[in-house]
Structure 1
Amino acid sequence: MSSLAEAVVALGYGLASALVPIVNTEAYAVVAGHRGGHALIAVLALGLGQTAGKLLLFEAARHGTGRLAQKLAQRNRSGRAAARAARWAEPIRRWLSRRRTALPTVLVSATLGVPPLAVVSVAAGTAGLRRWEFAGSCLLGRLIRFALLALPGALA
C-alpha cells in the first residue's frame, strides 16, 4: 500500500475508532508495526484521526445540552452501571476543572486509557478546558500509545 493510501486508511480508522468503541485502533497499530514500511505514517494518521474524533466528542459536550445523552443513558443502563459511570465522571470532571491537573489527566488518559479517553473527552468539554490544550495533550498521548504498540513489530 502506498504512503498516501496508508495515511488515509489509518486516519479514517482512527476517526472511526474514536466514535465507535468496537473499532480497535490499538490492533491496527500493532498490525501496522508488523507490516513495517509505513508504520510511522500509520501511527501519525491514527493519532490524528483519534484526536479529531475525540475533539468531536469534546465539542459536542461543550456546546450541547446533554439531554439526549442523559435520556439514552437512563434508558440503557442498569442502576449498577449508572452508579459506576457516575463514579468515573465526577472525579474526572473535578480534575479537569483545575488548571494544574487538567492537562496531565488528558495526557495520561490518552496514553494509558485510564480513565477512559471518551469519558475524559466529554468531561473536558463540560469543564471548560481550552480546545487547543485538549487537542495537543490528546494527540501527544495517542502518538505515544500507538508508537509503543507499533514499535516491537517494526523492530522485529
Structure 2
Amino acid sequence: MNSLAEAAVALGYGLASALVPVVNAEAYAVVAGHRGGHALLAVLALALGQTVGKLLLFESARRGSGRLARTLARRDESGRAAARTARWTAPIRRWLSRRRTALPTVLVSATVGVPPLAVVSLAAGTAGLRRWEFAVVCLSGRMLRFAVLVLPAALA
C-alpha cells in the first residue's frame, strides 16, 4: 500500500475510533508499527483522525449542552441517574473550567486515557474551553500515545 493510501486509511480509522468505542485505535497503531513502512505517517494520520472525531464530540457538547440537560432532567424522575452522572462529571467539568487545570487534564486524558478522552471531550465542550486549545493539546497527546505504542513494534 502506498503512503497516501496508508495515511487515508489511518485517518479514517482514527475518526471511526473516536466516535465508535469498539473501534480500537491503539491496536491499529501497534499493527502499523509491526508492518513497518510508514509508521510515523500512520501515527500522525491516526492522531489527526482521533482529534477530528473528538472535536466533533466537543462541538456537539458545546452546542447542545442546554438541550441535553433538559432532556436528561425530563427522563429521570427519581434523580438517581442525574446524581450518578453528576458525581462522575462534576470533577472533570470543574477541572476543565479552570485555566490552570483544563489543558493538563486534556493532555493527560489524550496521552494516558484516564479520564476517558470521550468524556473529557464532552465536558470540555460544555465547560467553555477554547476549541483551538483543545485541538492542539488533544492532537499532541494522541500523537505521543500512538508513538509510544508504535515505537517498540517498529524497533522489533
Compute the TM-score of the two structures, normalised by the length of structure 1: 0.90
2:114 aligned counterpart, secondary structure:
coil
Preserved contact between residue 39 and residue 154 of structure 1 (Cα < 8 Å):
yes
Where in structure 2 are the equivalents of 1:87-98 lying within 5 Å? Answer: 87-98=87-98
Q: What is the aligned partner in structure 1 of residue 147 from structure 2?
A: 147
> How big is the shift at 1:30?
0.4
Q: What is the aligned partner in structure 2 of residue 5 from structure 1?
A: 5
1:96 aligned counterpart, secondary structure:
helix
Where in structure 2 are the equivalents of 1:1-156 lying within 5 Å? Answer: 1-65=1-65, 67=67, 71=71, 85-156=85-156
> How big is the shift at 1:80?
8.0
What amino acid does structure 1 have at the position aligned with 2:19? L
Preserved contact between residue 43 and residue 147 of structure 1 (Cα < 8 Å):
yes
Per-residue CA distance 1:32-75 (angstroms, 9 max, x = gap): 01111111011000000000000000011111145358758997
Alpha-carbon distance in structure 1 between the residues aligned to 2:15 and 2:30: 17
- Cα RMSD (Å) of the superposition? 2.1
Compute the TM-score of the two structures, normalised by the length of structure 2: 0.90
Q: Structure 2: state its 5+ residue gaps.
A: none
Once superposed, which parts of structure 1, at least 4 consecutive aligned residues long, lie more than 6 Å away? Answer: 72-75, 79-82
> How big is the shift at 1:88?
2.4
- Percent of aligned pairs with the same amino acid: 83
Q: 1:20 to 1:99 in 2, by over 3 A?
A: same
Q: 1:36 to 1:82 in 2, by over 3 A?
A: farther
Preserved contact between residue 16 and residue 23 of structure 1 (Cα < 8 Å):
yes
Alpha-carbon distance in structure 1 between the residues aligned to 2:22 and 2:91: 26
> How big is the shift at 1:131?
0.4
Preserved contact between residue 65 and residue 126 of structure 2 (Cα < 8 Å):
no
> How big is the shift at 1:140?
0.3
